[in-house]
Amino acid sequence: MFFIVNSSSRLLSTKRSKCFLFILGFSLSSPLFSADWKLSKQLALKGTYSDNIDMTDTGKVSDFFFELTPGFVLQGKGRRLNLNLAYSLQALHYLNMNSDDKINNRLQLNAESEIYQDHLFLDANVTTRQELKNALDPSGWDATNPSNDLQNTYTYLVAPYFKNRFGRQAELTIRLENDGVFYSEEGNDSLGYQANLDLLSGPALGNFQWAFISENEYIDYQDGPRNRFSTVAGGVGYQFDNRWRIDVLGGYEDNSYASTSETSGALWEGLVTWTPNNRTDVTLGSGHRYFGWTPRLEIDYRRKRSVWTASYKRDISNARTDSLGNQVYEFQDAFGETVTPDTGAELNVPVDTATPDSSVYTSNRFDSAWTLQTRRSSLGISLGYVLRQYDDVSKDEGTVQARLYWSRRLSTHTTSNLGLKWSQRERNSSVDDESDLDRQEYGFDAGLTRRLSEQAYVNVQYGFRDDGGDSTENRVTLGLRLNWQ
């Protein structure tokens, strides 16, 4: 499937945003999309003292700043509609550096709807958040420090798709997608268009399955190139028993983007899935594409009180694809249970984002997380690694990060928390040695939260930041949080 794409422009993005809002409004007002709605209204007020507000290693400036964060969470679940919407407005006022006062908007919208019974569906996604302008800029871990290194990133996605079953023989899915990624200051704004076709076997063949897929994507950058990614592939799979399954995939890629090497070629992949019980799922495989070998690992191990997940994948990607996949707020916990996010909580600025340009790179990504919940405590540990290998600019960017979070209920109304975070980011260039960079950052947080009533909580928090050089920051925060239905 191929179609013509017009040049990207802010006027075009505005028109498409209005079109998206119209579709969303129609969906919510239609009686077909009746659902059980839950609205959580939230307000957070914090006062923070910092001994190095702008995170400099010389001429440190202490300051006190206020943070006012009103927000809400709207969640709806019905037979034909699932919607999660979280928004917060973070207003920051500094007593000494009041010229750096700012407002941060943060938004996450996920919507899944069924337009026509069992056939026509619509997915939608919108985000607004703060990110680093450059992948290796200094990070204060959140957006409260006055910094010229942060900017706003906006994304949207609208994807109608059609499904049809041919008895017990096969199932057809045709999906069209329009998405956009935009930056408030630095970065290459872009629009994306996709047309995908999946034809999968039905239950008639028993343990044997087959599949045919066709994926076509066009990316139109406002001040850059027009990239194309196309894949046609077919595969077969066999379920030997309840424990073992094998899948084999083969096909061809025809891509067009700036590169000094081949951008198209044959592909193949083999996967083995092991499911020894209903708590464990392990997938191991390897393949080959035009840019090299593509190993894959996926582990999901679940107990009643703990969850461990791990994954590794090597793929072609770009900055806009990473942005479209990032979540601002989470509406499910590690156990898959629905949760209502706290819009007034500290919202981390990710340190593993790519520089927002049109470059295509090979992404090598590993992620692992372990969560343990007991009657009074919660413990979470995560480890992530990503290596981006750029071809057109001859550089590599790598990020390793680790986090630990622990909370414990000390009494009926009092809870303690502890957080540790560390990251190492580096860039190696074969073109210009001056562009090489290695940055390590550390963070520590500890605090107490006291529940005053069903709707009101007060907490005191201590935080320490170290950018890996000579710049450190100590901060103390006193906050009040209100939450009502």
pLDDT in tens, 393-452: 667 899 999 999 999 999 999 999 999 999 998 888 765 555 567 888 999 999 999 999
Q: Which residue has the tokens 């071809």?
A: 391
Q: Would residue 186 count as lying in a domain?
A: yes
pLDDT in tens, 23-41: 455 445 554 557 789 999 9
pLDDT over threshold 80, residue 294: yes
Neighbours of 203 (CB within 10 A): 11
Residue type at position 245: R
Of the candidates 422, 301, 318, the residue with the CA atom closest to the CA atom of residue 368? 301
| DSSP letters spanning 315-355 | EEEEHHHHHHH--SS-SB-TTS-B----TTS--PPPSSPPP
Mean pLDDT of 249-261: 94
Mean pLDDT of 66-76: 97
pLDDT in tens, 113-166: 999 989 999 999 999 999 988 877 777 788 998 878 899 999 999 999 999 999
DSSP code of residue 25 = H
Q: Would residue 1 count as lying in a domain?
A: no
pLDDT reported for residue 49: 97
Q: How far apart are CA 451 and CA 366, in angstroms?
A: 38
pTM of the model: 0.89
β-partners of residue 86 are: 73, 108
Q: Would residue 66 count as lying in a domain?
A: yes
Q: How far apart are CA 95 and CA 62, in angstroms?
A: 10
Q: Would residue 2 count as lying in a domain?
A: no
Q: How far apart are CA 113 and CA 82, in angstroms?
A: 6
Domain count of the fold of the chain: 1
The pairing of strands 306-318 and 296-302 is antiparallel
Neighbours of 189 (CB within 10 A): 20
Most confident of 291-295, 323-327, 351-355: 291-295
Residues 6+ apart with CB under 8 A from 308: 299, 300, 301, 302, 368, 369, 370, 371
pLDDT in tens, 186-244: 999 999 999 999 999 999 999 999 999 999 999 999 988 899 999 999 999 999 999 99
Give the residue numbers spanning the domain of 223.
Answer: 10-484
pLDDT reported for residue 25: 53
Mean pLDDT of 103-107: 95
Question: What values do phi and psi take at 230, rounded to 5?
Answer: -135, 140
Higher pLDDT, 141 or 334: 334
Q: What percent of the chain has pLDDT over 90?
A: 73
pLDDT over threshold 50, residue 10: no
pLDDT reported for residue 393: 66
Residue type at position 1: M
Q: Would you report the helix, strand and coil content of the chain in percent, each value rounded to 5? A: 10, 60, 30
Of the candidates 94, 88, 92, the residue with the CA atom closest to the CA atom of residue 108? 88
Q: How far apart are CA 403 and CA 17, in angstroms?
A: 36
Contact 431, 403 (CB under 8 A): no
pLDDT reported for residue 219: 97
pLDDT reported for residue 89: 97
Q: How far apart are CA 172 and CA 200, in angstroms?
A: 7
Residue type at position 410: L
Of the candidates 148, 134, 146, the residue with the CA atom closest to the CA atom of residue 473? 146
In this structure, what CATH number is given to the domain that contains residue 304?
A: 2.40.170
Q: Using alpha carbons, list the distances in angstroms from residue 402 to 175, 231, 353, 442, 464.
A: 37, 35, 15, 10, 16
Long-range contacts of residues 202-208, Cβ cutoff 8 Å, at least 24 apart: 202/165, 202/166, 202/167, 202/168, 202/169, 202/170, 202/171, 203/168, 204/167, 204/168, 204/169, 207/238, 207/239, 207/240, 208/236, 208/237, 208/238
Q: Would residue 462 count as lying in a domain?
A: yes
Q: How far apart are CA 385 and CA 350, in angstroms?
A: 13
pLDDT reported for residue 391: 80
| DSSP letters spanning 88-156 | EEEEEEESS-GGG-EEEEEEEEEEEEEEETTTEEEEEEEEEEEEESSTTS---SSS-S--SSEEEEEEE
Q: Would residue 21 count as lying in a domain?
A: yes
β-partners of residue 217 are: 194, 229
Average pLDDT over the chain, rounded to an integer: 89
Q: Would residue 395 count as lying in a domain?
A: yes
Q: How far apart are CA 193 and CA 191, in angstroms?
A: 7
Confidence class for position 485, pLDDT limits 50, 70, 90: confident
Q: Would residue 4 count as lying in a domain?
A: no
> How many degrees, rounded to 5, is the angle at CA 442 between CA 439 and CA 447?
160
